[in-house]
Amino acid sequence: MLDLKSIMEEPELIQEMMKFRNVDINLSEVIELDKKRRDIIQDVEALKQERNDKSKLVGKIKKEGGDPSEIIDSMGGISDRIKAWDAEQKEVEDDIKSIVEVLPNILHESVPRSLDKADNQVIETVGEKPSFDFEFKNHLDLARELDIVDFEAGGRIAGNNFALYKGLGARLEWALLSYMIHANSVEGPYQFIIPPALVNEESFYASGQLPKFADQAYKCEDDDLYLIPTSETALLNMHREQILKEDNLPILYTACTPCFRREAGTYGADERGLIRIHQFNKVEIFKFTTPETSYDELENMLVDAQKVLKPLGLHYQVSLLVSSDLGQQAAKTYDIEVWLPGQDGYKEISSVSNCEDYQARRGNIRYREKESKKVRFVHTLNGSALATPRLMVAILEQYQQSDGSVVIPEAIRPFMAGLDRITK
């Protein structure tokens, strides 16, 4: 959530920034509501002062043996007016919150301003596009022929856009997750966490999923709980309503969870199969940092995500996203996009973002400075390292062989009992 103070101090700057995020908002309404809120506070304070003065006067009159009943009667009227003003103040504050809480984050100065996602800047390309001297097959055909992913069974069990991994497909999925957990938490600096896959409304709100993305969520109505769309939602809330110690920052977590997304809307034939599904597995990396170090930590996080991907030998690119392509919570984002031959294009396999204090404000997550003892909001960062569905697609399609088999990347083989390929 944006800091209301920054909106009041620099409304023109924030208004201009919202345009580049493709958000149509007139902040003058917020400014007027905040002025009304301040006026109410001033009036209430004046009434409270009047009530205090009269209370002192009542005590004085009683001490002198007089009758303060007339003054006491007038104080009742003051209390009623204070209650009415308090109720109106809450209503105004709720109106302000309803506007501010759906605004996206401010943009970091290094983010390119553009309304066209085609202007995303490719900053790094790794490896070469694979070429094939045989009849190429997409991952749907390969999965069917190798009998490793059953989309029909997934549909019978749950409906469209659900996948069922089987045999060596299930083993490859598990191996990928094991490899990524090992890379992040054994070879890497992140503490491994297995959080709940269900979170409460407060957690969903703090992460930025509510109220704007309620239609994308799977909700358990009877329990008022939400299935997580990413483990970021759970990891963030490990420290909700807490004050951390500066000496303990940065805090680095990694988690492996199923993720659930309704993905409301319709999609083309190029997003069939594993490209866009309602339930998938993902290994997440997450950081709590100080404001001064968060952008260095963002660059480190991008390196960490690539340390997981590079050993797999896949062709991919890294893009710096323009303003209109950022998620609501992010101030700056890099996308890691893997090459999928079946789609003849790149698809996001990881987003690495700095959310600055946007989520921390919503979740009231702060830290106490070691020297000054001042309490400030932390910065939060998140990234995928990695999501498995498109990773599975990339491996199947980039490593396919002329005989219909698929070579397993060397980095994964120790987690597959040494198996080097999947065959019919």
Rounded to an integer, what distance in angstroms lies between the CA atom of residue 200 and that of residue 202?
A: 6
**Domain carrying residue 15:** 4-100
Decide if 108 is inside a domain: no
Decide if 140 is inside a domain: yes
CATH of the domain at 33: 1.10.287.40
- Residue 338 near residue 391, CB atoms below 8 Å: yes
What would the two tokens of residue 103 be?
A: 């605004």
Long-range contacts of 40-49 (CB under 8 A, 24+ apart): 40/85, 40/88, 40/89, 40/92, 41/89, 43/85, 44/82, 44/85, 44/86, 44/89, 47/78, 47/81, 47/82, 47/85, 48/82
In this prediction, residue 266 carries a pLDDT of 47
Residues 6+ apart with CB under 8 A from 82: 44, 47, 48, 51
Q: What sign does the CA torsion over 8, 10, 15, 19 have?
A: negative
Claim to verify: residue 149 and residue 85 sit in the same structural domain:
no
In this prediction, residue 77 carries a pLDDT of 83
CATH of the domain at 285: 3.30.930.10
In this prediction, residue 64 carries a pLDDT of 86
Q: What sign does the CA torsion over 290, 296, 298, 302 have?
A: negative
Count of domains observed in the chain: 2
Claim to verify: residue 18 and residue 68 sit in the same structural domain:
yes
Helix (H) or strand (E) holding 345, with range, is strand 345-354
Give the relative orientation of helices 168-185 and 139-146 as an angle to the nearest 10 degrees: 120
In this prediction, residue 76 carries a pLDDT of 80
pTM confidence score: 0.92
Q: Kindly give the parts of the chain with pLDDT less than 50.
A: 266
Rounded to an integer, what distance in angstroms lies between the CA atom of residue 35 and that of residue 52?
A: 26
Claim to verify: residue 67 and residue 192 sit in the same structural domain:
no
- Residue 333 near residue 326, CB atoms below 8 Å: yes
Nearest to 390 by CA among 269, 256, 274: 274
Claim to verify: residue 378 and residue 243 sit in the same structural domain:
yes
